[in-house]
Each structure stands twice: as structure tokens, then as C-alpha cells.
Structure 1
Amino acid sequence: MRRSDSKSIRAALPGLGRILKHFAPQLRKQKWLLILSFGSLLAEIVLHLLEPWPLKFIFDYILLPNASHKSHHLPIAAALSQLSPSVLLTSLVASIVAIALLGAAAAYFSIVGMALAATNMLTEIRTDLYSHLQRLSLAFHNQAKTGDLITRVTSDIERLREVSVMAVLPLLANSLTLVGMILVMFWMNWELALIAIAIFPWFLFSTVRLTHKIRRVVKMQRQGEGAMAATAAESISAIKVVKALSLHEMLERVFFHYNRKSLRASNKAQQLSAALERMVELLVGVATALVLWRGVYLVLAKIVTPGDLLVFVNYLRIAFKPMRQLAKYTGQIAKATASGERVLDILNTVPDIQDSKGALEAPPFLGAIRFENVSFAYNPEQLILKNISFEVQPGQQVALVGPSGGGKSTLVSLLLRLYDPITGRILIDGHDLREYKLQSLRRQISIVLQDSILFSGTVQDNISYGRLGARFKEIEWAARLANAHDFIMALPQGYATILGERGANLSGGQRQRIAIARAAIRHAPIVILDEPTTGLDNENERAVSEALQRLTYKRTTFLISHNLKTTQSADLILYIENGQIIEQGTHTELMRLNGRYAAMYAIQDKSDLSGKAEGRRLSWQKGSDSEPLHSHCE
């Protein structure tokens, strides 16, 4: 084999070794099933090798008995010669049935054993992949496309399972069968065996060259499918915005582009696989013709028997059938390798945020928090937070105000350790956050967002997600605290009512109050509120505000809000702009300072007064319009 061929072979399936190495622990767990499958596979191969021999004996000992002395002096030859033709024929015909029966049983156990092993292994891998995705940092998820990740968890894993059963095991069986038949052919007649294997170099060359192309095309296809799934997931999840902005035609064009790209790659892969299979068929035909041409001369010369030639032709038919399938299986394995590499890309991604070495379980927090010279950037070129420093005492409320995009939400994300600062540190009760295990840290922080996410499941489930294993009495207590109990009981099945995806069958205020109940049940000493009342009508805002007051009582609270009326009572107000704390203090202190906060408060106050005046004007107009009607009636 030339050096370039060797390089091509090494480049053809580089991912397969990586996949097998990475999943070796899961493979070892299935060793007994794999041993059973492999043992059954070896039995199946031996029976395949025996298949043409009853025909050989029928030809050499019954149809052409004069040629029986040329049977390589088999140990069984003397015994066969002693049997009458009728007994011998009956025995050989029965042996054909027995070989077929035993071969079917061996194939059944090898396939079922392999299927069970593959299913068990890949179920564990899928679970590991899903768990790993859950633990990857927000930086990864902000860049990744949801649809593509779902494709990797579902269809890529499924393709690995299918191929391991439908391609890997048959490929292994066919390869070992081929090796066994070649050895038997050399034992019978080396000249015919050399003619039969003369096409192997051409076969290997074609397989390696086309397999490399198939794998490259299939990887492009899987990437296209991932992009297509991401586009579909993104548009469906934001269907209201799509309809409101009439984006459906634009999104259809994007989807069509990825769909056509995937289709072209799929067609190309099919063409390459078909070309490989047709090439094998041509080579098999050439080999069969050459063996028959030379074999007939050897039979006429009485060097081999007709039965020997029959075995050779049958072996060519059986042995090169695997070669035809090898082309098909190679294409499937190339597809599975592409899928496996996509799975490994995720599993090999290291979370940016994880427990540090020697991290401890966090003790119950008092709630004292200090930011010391904290700076942060999503990318090194642009700082989002710049040298942030402040201190909060247990039970105090901190309001984060200022223009949108100033870094307020990023600041509380650092407190949750969704990201780590580039410089500086954050301390709770005098200890750096990074000293604690993530789970034990986040377990002591409750959060209520502007658009609180609810999950598919019951109302009870959604509240209990705040603290898994909570008793129903605690769930009901949290719902009452959140002003949610009454409307929950008015639902068709009360706490057992199934919520739609993201709580779509509830109003915004109802969703928010369930989210508050979920936060309350944690009994966390630290609470983060990110615009929790934005977008609510007056009635819902009043109910949510009352619930939030109860939730945050004697708890260290971070409140992000653009409505400065809701932040006046905060113990500390931080005015954040362009990633910096421009002003800090109480409402009274900041109003006395007459800076940015005071200016923003004055603008909002003026806007509120204008809104009330406009309301009175509209009310007066309505009254004026009604007066003539009243007079007319009189």
C-alpha cells in the first residue's frame, strides 16, 4: 500500500477512534451482553463457512463420485465413502437445514445482544449529554442555537444507536466471514484464492476514497439539519413576534435555504454511497468470471474437483456480498461518525463556571454581600461592568436603577455565579462565592424575573420546583404568600391543573405570582427581583407588589427597576450607567445630590403628572359629551 493510501485511510474515519475511546466506560458496562453477541457472531461465521460444503459433498460423492478422491483427503472423506447414496443424500440435506437453523439462532442472539447493549449504552450517553448541556455556562448557551442542541440530543444519538445495531455488527460479521473464507480458499487451492482476492486493492482504494467524501458531505448535512432545527425552534418559540412583525416570509426563506442545503448534501451522500456499491458489484463480477475461467481448466485437468469449484463460487457469492454491504455500511458509519463527533463536541466542552477545586458546601447565609472592584466582560474587547464596589448588610434592600444596557442584570448574574468576574471578587458573609459549591450557593438565592418562565406540568409542580420535595402544606403556604391561592383554587383542577408550555394558559399577573410562590418556598436569605411588575395592569401590579413585600421581608434583596417610585424605600440605590456606579445612596441622599438619579426621578414624576392630567382631560371630555344627551332627555 502506498504512503498516500495509508494517509487516506487514516483520514477517512478519524472520528471513529475518538468516539470509541470516549465511550469506552459505557462499553465496558455492557461487556457481558457484548461477549454474548460476539460469541454468537463467531458461531454464525463458522456456520456461514460450512454452508456450501454439503453441496460439495453431494457433487463429489453422489453426482460425480469419480472425483471424490480429489477432496484434499478430508478426514471425513473415508466415512462419507462408506455411506449409501440415499443415506448420504438424506444426511447432507438434513445438514443444510441444521446449518440454516443454527445460523439463524446465532444471528438472532448476536443482533439482540448487540441491540440491547447499544440501547443501554446510548441511553446513558444521551442522559450524560443532557446533563452536561444543563451544566454548561450561559456563555455557551448564548452562542449556541437551541434547535441544533436538541438535534444532537435526539436524532444524533438515535443515529448512533441505529448504526451500531444495523451497520457495526453486520460489518464486523461480514469482515470476519470474509477473512475466514479467504483462509479456507487458500487451504483448498492457492491459485484460485489469489485470483479471487486480486480485486481487493481496487476495492480498498475505492472504499477509502469515497468514504472520506461521504463523511465530509454527511457532516455538512448534519450541520444543515442543526441550523434548520434551530431556525424552526426560534421562530416557533417567538411565533407572536413573528406574526406581529410579519417575519414569516423572511424566516421561510432562511428555513428553505438550510433545507435545500441539507437536501443537496443528502443527495450527494446517496450518490457517493451508490457509486461505491456499484463499484463493488463490478469488481465482484470480474472476480467471479476470472475464478470460473481458471477453475474450469483446473477441473478438466483434475487438479480440483467440481465440488471444490462449487465451494469457490459460493464463497465468492457469500464473501463478496459482505463487500457490497460494506459499501453501504461504510456510508452509514460515516454518517454515524459525523453524528458522534457532534455529540463529542458538546461533551468535550468544558463549562466556564464550575465548582473550584476544594469547593465547600455553603453554610446558611446571613445575607451580607460585598462587591470588591468587580469588572466583567462578555468579550475582552468591551467591559460591561467596570470596577464595581459596594456593600450590603443582611436584610437590606438594594435598588439597581439607570438606563437600559448599563449592566444591572449582569451584576445580579454575577451574584448567582452565572458568570465569574474578570477582576475583583464578590463576597457573601465575608467569603468569596468561588469557595462554595454552585448548587449550595444558588439554593440560597431566590429570583423573580420580568418574564418568569413556567414549565409544562401542574401548578403544584411549578411551585415545588423552588424546593424539590416540598410538602403540599408548604406549597399552599407559598401560594398564599404570593396572593396566588385564590386564583389557583378557581382553576379547573386547582393545584393539579396542567399548565401549558411556559404557562400560556395563565395571565401575566398569574404567572408572576406563581413565580413568586416558587421563590418563596426556597426560604432563601437573598432575593433578586428583575423588573417583576413591568407590563402588569394596576390590579395585578398591586397583588404582585404585596406578594413581593412579604417575600422580601427581612431578606437581602436586589431590585432592578426602571420605575423609581418602587425604589424610594430601598436602603441603598445604585445608579448604574455604562457599567459604572455613577451615584449611590438612599433616595433622600440622591435627591439632595441633584445628579443623574434626581434628573431621572424628575422626568418620571413629570410624566406621571402628565398622565394623570391627560386622564382627567379624557374624563372631562367624556362627561361633557354626556351632558347634552342628559339635557335632551330632560
Structure 2
Amino acid sequence: MAKNTVNQDEKVIALKGKDILFRLVKYMKPYGVKIAAVLLLMLIVTGVGLLSPMLLKIAIDDFIDAKDVKGLALIGAGLIGLNLISMYASKYATFNMNKTTHNILRTIRQELYEHIQKLSFAFFDERPVGKILARVVGDVNSLSELFNKSVTTVIPQVLTLVFVTIIMFSMNVKLALVSMAMIPPLCVGLAGIQIISRKRWQVFRQKRSNLNGFTHESFSGMRIIQNFTFEKESGKRFKNSVGEMRSGFINAVKLNDWLWPIVEVSFGASTLIVFLVGANLARSGEVSIGTITAFISYTSMFWRPILNIASYYNTLITNFAAAERIFEIMDVKPGIDELESADVMPKIKGRVEFENVSFAYEKDTQVLHNVSFKVKPGENIALVGPTGAGKTTITSLISRFYDTTEGRVLIDGKDVSKVNLNSLRSQMGVMLQDTFLFSDSIKENIRYGKLDATDEEIIAAAKAVSAHDFIMKLEKGYDTQVNERGSRLSVGQRQLISFARALLANPRILILDEATSNIDTATEILVQKGINKLLSGRTSFVIAHRLSTIRDCDRIMVIDDGEIVEAGTHEELLNLRGAYYKLYMAQYSFLREGA
């Protein structure tokens, strides 16, 4: 049973804010030099901003009263020059930080993708693909503003705040203190918003993930939707998903919108207090008009960083949910653990052994029960039995797509759980009933079996499985592009290409899971010749419901309810008149009645 459906909210493990920040900062470390350069430029911008009010104070107190035109002109020219430098420094810093941010996001996305590739089939069994895509694409993109502003906004603004505070206290302690009177109530308001807002943004991202999951599933199943005229109902469900995402976004934004009024009111009240107290101090002669003018500018400069930091704080709250969802996936440990000391699997000879193997996909639901058997190198084994009996599970354990619940799987005497996965799977060929082709040319799809294969080897493999003739009749032959999953080709044609891919891999152990089920009888006769060539000298496991295709196998094992109930050659099992005999006669009678 899936961990959640496309309409079910995901349960994401909440992380502490400091832990999220620490992990995000780690991605910035490799770009330390570039970030330092950006910071230096931002310090120039900050320095110009801090110097401007001081120059204005000097102009008012020293040059206006003295009617020093030359001095005023110099200060004016200095301000223009400094602000031009500041403008270009800010522009260059922003450009470089944007570039660095995209590099960081690329690193996170690559790391996330590579980690997901290492996860076991169980991970994908439990999650809709659309929800995984939402994290790799949407959630990673959401971190862009967070990284960007952390350097171009937060650090310079914090430094500005510190320097402005020092300047204000050096100018007048009373005015400095009253200008900060609104800080405590502001902090209380922001803390309250943060607690509720983060939960609301989590809900929004869950709803957005649901929409992505539903959309992906709908497009993947569009043939079914159109075939059963399900468009109207599917449209309603899509509308509901969009509505839930919209409601989640509005609820989150409504709360975030309170942030600005709180900060703006605090800023306005602080400015008013400074103006009133400053007027009284000016009347008593404690401060000059130039000092008050400069102080009001510094008060504005004091609150501007607070506004910008509050904006970043808003961004932080908004994107914490995205970071949580990314790190939750990264924290998922592969179900198939590979030991650091795992041995490299030598060239496989093909001896396979199951020792008292039991397996369950979920607790209390065993699929295999104490299965034991031995297969000699080069032996061809057929697995037959009713649907859900455990045939595919046996082959999945051989390739170690899952680990046994109990018992061991041995290849050439080596426990597959203790060898390097790549060295094991690279020597195996798996051909499934549900053939998957990539959005690429037919040639490149076959080349997946052997990445360094020549065109001649690819053509030879295609000829061996009788795929060459139909490929050459296509528009561009082997260079013909196939759509996602090979939708431009028939089911039988896709399986033939997949066969050529498996042949090209030249595996030591071959697994065919209902590989010829969708090929017509005439084509199957041709393909069977190619299969016989491939099976020669290799250990193979063939899963088939069409019993006529496995008559020549060295041994047939009948699987029922997770156990091997019979094993032998075709003739031996027929003579037993047991489970295999009943399956064979039932299929024979069905075909005869159909004829």
C-alpha cells in the first residue's frame, strides 16, 4: 500500500530552524571566495550609505552658515561620486550573487537527484512520482531567494544596523534610546507570526505537491482517461486540487501580510518619537539643527535594515517548508545498504542459491516463505504460477532490488547483500513486461545496454531479436526518435527494442519477466531463436504465464503462495499431474475453446 496517494498530504518530519540553516550554509562554503567578494562590494555600498548623512550634517552645520559655496560644491560632487560607485558595486554584487545562487541550487538539485537514484524500489513504491518531482524542481527553486538575500541583504543590513547604532549613540544617547523604543513590541509580533506562518507554508507546499502528483498521474494515464471519457471528472478533481493549493497559499500570505504593517507602524512611531524628542532638545539647545537632521536620516537608516531583515525573515519562513521537504528526502536512507567494505563481484559464473529465504514488502504480509533452491551455472529456470505468487519477488531478490527478510541469496557462493551493487547489477540483464524507453533515438535506447557499443553491435543485437526489419522501415531507421516511454511504437516493437538492449548488455545472469507476453505468435517464434542464443551458456530466470514458451527450460519451478510447490522439467511435471499439470491443461483447454 502506498505511503500516500496524490490527494493525501505528505507527513514531513519537522526540523529545527537552526538545523536547516546550518545545512543550507554548508552549501555556501565552496563559494566562500566569491561570496566574500560580494560582501566586500556590499560593504562599499553600506559605507556610502552611512557616510552620506554625515556629509549632509557637515554641509548644514559648517558650510551653509559660512556661505562656503566651494565647500558645498565639493561635498555635492563627493556625494555624487560615492553614490555612482555604490550603484555599480551594488549591480555587480547582485549579478555575481545570482550566479553563485544558481550554482548552489544546481549542487543541491544534483545531490538530491543522485541520492534518489540510490534509494530502493520501496521508496518509489510508496510515493507518487509527481510528488518526488515537486521536491526536485519546485522546492529547490524556492531556495533561490533565500540564498541570494542571505548575502546581498542580511549580512550588509546587519552591519549597517550595527554601525548606525554606534553612530546614533555617539551623536546623542537620548535620541538613540527613544529611536529603539518600538523594537521590543516588534520582536514579539514577529515571533508570533513566525510560529503560525511556518505551519501554514508547510500546508501550502503539501497542497502544491498533491497538485503536482495528481497532474503527473493524470497525464501519464491520459489514454485511460480519454478511453473511459473520464475528462469531466478528472477536470473536477484537478479543480479541487488547485482550489486547495490556492486556499493554502492565501492562508499563508494573509498572515505574512501582517508583517509589513507591524514593521511600518513601528518605524512611523519611532520616527515621530525621535522628531518630538529632538524638537524639545533643540529648543533647550542640547543639539543643533544639523544633528537633528542627520539623526532623523540615521533613524530612517536604522529602520531600513530592519525592514529588509524582516523581508528576509519573511522569505526564510516561506522557504523553510521547502528546505524541510528537500532534507527529508536526503535523510531517507537507502533501503538497500551497501557496506563500505563490500567486495567487488568478480565475473559471475552463474551459480544461484536461495537459503531459507523469506520476504515481506510490509510487516505481517509475507510474500515468500522459507524458499530454498540451487541453480547451476548456465541453467535455464522457468518460474510459473498464479499472479501474486512471488515469482517477480524472487528475481528482484537475485538483483538485490530488495533485501531478504530472512535467509540469504548467494551468487557463486557470495552473499549478494555483501557485494558492491554496481559490480553485481552490471552483470545482470533484466527484461520486464512493462517496457520503458527513453525520449531518445532507437539507437541510443538500445545502447543503454552497453554505453560504449558501436553501431555495428547495436544493429547485430537488433537483428538477433528480429527488430532490425521493422526499425529500418521507420522514418529515420535507428535514428528515429521515440516519445517518452516509446509511445510512437507498438507494445511489441517496444519489447523487441528492449530485448536488443538486454542482448547488447551481454549479462551473465538474465531475467525475463513476461518479456514476450505482448509479442504476436509469428514474431515470438523469431524472437525465441534470439532468446535461445542469448540463454546459451548463461544462467537465466524466465517468468511466463504462456507455458508454451518455457517448455525447453532446464527446470520449471511452480510458485504458489510464496512457496515452491513443484520443480522439474516440462515432461516430469506433466507426469506428476500436480499443480503444473493443472495450469498447463487449463491453458490448453482455454486456447482450444478459443479456437
Residues 1:295 and 2:296 are matched in the alignment: no
Report how far residue 208 of structure 1 moved: 1.5
Q: What are the equivalent positions in structure 2 for 1:201-350 lying under 5 Å apart?
A: 201-350=184-333
Q: What are the equivalent positions in structure 2 for 1:350-389 lying under 5 Å apart?
A: 350-389=333-372
Give, in whole Å, the separation in 2 of the partners of 1:275 and 1:23: 27
Report how far residue 127 of structure 1 moved: 0.5
Deviation track 1:104-124 (CA, whole Å, cap 9, x = no partner) reads: 233234323322322222211
Q: Contact (CA 8 Å) 2:433, 2:515: kept in 1 or not?
A: yes
Give unpaired runs (5+ residues) of structure 2.
1-13
Change (3 A) 1:479 1:535: closer
Paired amino acid for 1:274: D
Per the alignment, residue 59 of structure 1 pairs with 60
Q: Scaled by the length of structure 1, what TM-score is found?
A: 0.89
Give, in whole Å, the separation in 1 of the partners of 2:15 and 2:351: 53
Paired amino acid for 2:304: K
Q: Scaled by the length of structure 2, what TM-score is found?
A: 0.94
Per the alignment, residue 515 of structure 2 pairs with 532
SS at match of 1:528: strand
Q: Contact (CA 8 Å) 1:516, 1:551: kept in 2 or not?
A: no
Report how far residue 602 of structure 1 moved: 0.9
Report how far residue 25 of structure 1 moved: 4.5
SS at match of 1:17: helix
Residues 1:36 and 2:37 are matched in the alignment: yes
Residues 1:139 and 2:86 are matched in the alignment: no
Give, in whole Å, the separation in 1 of the partners of 2:144 and 2:17: 14
Q: What are the equivalent positions in structure 2 for 1:156-167 lying under 5 Å apart?
A: 156-166=139-149
Per the alignment, residue 117 of structure 1 pairs with 100
Paired amino acid for 1:530: D
Per the alignment, residue 507 of structure 1 pairs with 490
Report how far residue 23 of structure 1 moved: 4.3
Report how far residue 154 of structure 1 moved: 0.9
Deviation track 1:412-459 (CA, whole Å, cap 9, x = no partner) reads: 011110001011111111111123211111111111111210001111
Give, in whole Å, the separation in 1 of the partners of 2:142 and 2:24: 15
Report how far residue 293 of structure 1 moved: 0.5
Q: Contact (CA 8 Å) 1:156, 1:339: kept in 2 or not?
A: yes
Paired amino acid for 1:378: Y
Give, in whole Å, the separation in 2 of the partners of 1:322 and 1:23: 23
Paired amino acid for 2:194: T
Q: Contact (CA 8 Å) 1:375, 1:424: kept in 2 or not?
A: yes
Report how far residue 38 of structure 1 moved: 1.7
Residues 1:441 and 2:424 are matched in the alignment: yes
Q: Contact (CA 8 Å) 2:164, 2:302: kept in 1 or not?
A: yes
Report how far residue 328 of structure 1 moved: 2.8
User: Does 490-499 or 252-261 show the bigger shift?
Assistant: 252-261
User: Does 442-451 or 239-248 show the bigger shift?
Assistant: 239-248
Deviation track 1:42-71 (CA, whole Å, cap 9, x = no partner) reads: 222222111212221222123345xxxxxx
Change (3 A) 1:474 1:20: farther
Per the alignment, residue 403 of structure 1 pairs with 386
Paired amino acid for 1:461: E
Give, in whole Å, the separation in 2 of the partners of 1:313 and 1:269: 35
Residues 1:183 and 2:184 are matched in the alignment: no
Per the alignment, residue 551 of structure 1 pairs with 534
Paired amino acid for 1:252: G
Per the alignment, residue 407 of structure 2 pairs with 424
Paired amino acid for 1:397: N
Per the alignment, residue 7 of structure 2 pairs with none
Report how far residue 166 of structure 1 moved: 4.1
Q: Contact (CA 8 Å) 2:64, 2:72: kept in 1 or not?
A: no
SS at match of 1:383: strand
Per the alignment, residue 623 of structure 1 pairs with none
Per the alignment, residue 21 of structure 1 pairs with 22
From 96, 110, 118, the counterpart of 2:79: 96
SS at match of 2:365: coil
Residues 1:86 and 2:69 are matched in the alignment: yes
Q: Contact (CA 8 Å) 2:263, 2:307: kept in 1 or not?
A: yes
Report how far residue 521 of structure 1 moved: 0.9
Q: Contact (CA 8 Å) 1:195, 1:287: kept in 2 or not?
A: yes
SS at match of 2:302: helix
Residues 1:542 and 2:525 are matched in the alignment: yes
SS at match of 1:386: strand
Deviation track 1:447-493 (CA, whole Å, cap 9, x = no partner) reads: 11112100011111101111112222221221111211222222222
Q: Contact (CA 8 Å) 2:35, 2:151: kept in 1 or not?
A: no
Deviation track 1:139-196 (CA, whole Å, cap 9, x = no partner) reads: 1111012111111111211111233214653133223212221111011000000000
Give unpaired runs (5+ residues) of structure 1.
1-12, 66-83, 613-634
Sequence identity percentage: 33
From 566, 569, 572, the counterpart of 1:583: 566
Report how far residue 14 of structure 1 moved: 5.8
Give, in whole Å, the separation in 1 of the partners of 2:527 and 2:23: 50
Q: Contact (CA 8 Å) 2:513, 2:542: kept in 1 or not?
A: yes
Q: Contact (CA 8 Å) 2:197, 2:256: kept in 1 or not?
A: yes
Give, in whole Å, the separation in 1 of the partners of 2:130 and 2:301: 44
Give, in whole Å, the separation in 2 of the partners of 1:415 and 1:280: 63
Give, in whole Å, the separation in 1 of the partners of 2:360 and 2:432: 22
Deviation track 1:315-341 (CA, whole Å, cap 9, x = no partner) reads: 222322332333332221112211111
Q: Contact (CA 8 Å) 2:145, 2:315: kept in 1 or not?
A: no
RMSD (Å), alpha carbons: 1.7
SS at match of 1:377: strand
User: Does 55-64 or 138-147 show the bigger shift?
Assistant: 55-64
Give, in whole Å, the separation in 2 of the partners of 1:250 and 1:549: 48
Give, in whole Å, the separation in 1 of the partners of 2:465 and 2:134: 38
Give, in whole Å, the separation in 2 of the partners of 1:168 and 1:255: 39
Q: Contact (CA 8 Å) 1:288, 1:313: kept in 2 or not?
A: yes
User: Does 108-117 or 557-566 show the bigger shift?
Assistant: 108-117
Paired amino acid for 2:486: G
Give, in whole Å, the separation in 1 of the partners of 2:232 and 2:313: 40
Per the alignment, residue 451 of structure 1 pairs with 434
Deviation track 1:516-559 (CA, whole Å, cap 9, x = no partner) reads: 11001111111111111213333333333333223222221111
Paired amino acid for 1:41: M
Equivalenced residue count is 582
Give, in whole Å, the separation in 2 of the partners of 1:169 and 1:339: 21
Change (3 A) 1:368 1:502: same
Give, in whole Å, the separation in 1 of the partners of 2:164 and 2:180: 11
Per the alignment, residue 413 of structure 1 pairs with 396
Paired amino acid for 1:604: Q
Bigger Rg over Cα: 1
